[in-house]
């Protein structure tokens, strides 16, 4: 009798490679879009709530409210 040794080939696949990369890519794009919105259009734009006196006076500098001391 011959004794035959059978060896099975085992292939292990990591199934999260491309799927995880796609999810991370989508999250990165969403974060980038939110950052652009925040700087350009949202509350981080920095143009809300303050006024500029030169714009309100038609481009002229505001008038002085105190008089310079007289020289002696």
- Residue spans of alpha helices (H) in the chain: 17-40, 53-56
Q: pTM of the entire structure?
A: 0.41
As given in the structure block, the two tokens for residue 41 are 């259009």
Q: 1-10, 39-48, 56-65: lowest mean pLDDT where? A: 56-65
Looking at the predicted structure, is the pLDDT value of residue 60 above 70?
no
Q: Return the pLDDT at 47.
A: 57
Q: Return the pLDDT at 45.
A: 67
Task: Convert the pLDDT of each residue in 10-57 to its tens digit.
Answer: 887 766 567 888 899 999 999 999 999 888 887 766 655 555 545 555
């Amino acid at each position: 009798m011959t004794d035959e040794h059978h060896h099975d080939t085992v292939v292990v696949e990591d199934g999260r490679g491309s799927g995880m990369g796609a999810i991370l890519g989508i999250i990165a794009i969403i974060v980038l879009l939110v950052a652009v919105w925040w700087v350009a259009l949202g509350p981080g734009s920095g143009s809300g709530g303050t006024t500029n006196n030169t714009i309100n006076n038609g481009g002229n500098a505001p008038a002085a409210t105190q008089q310079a001391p007289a020289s002696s």
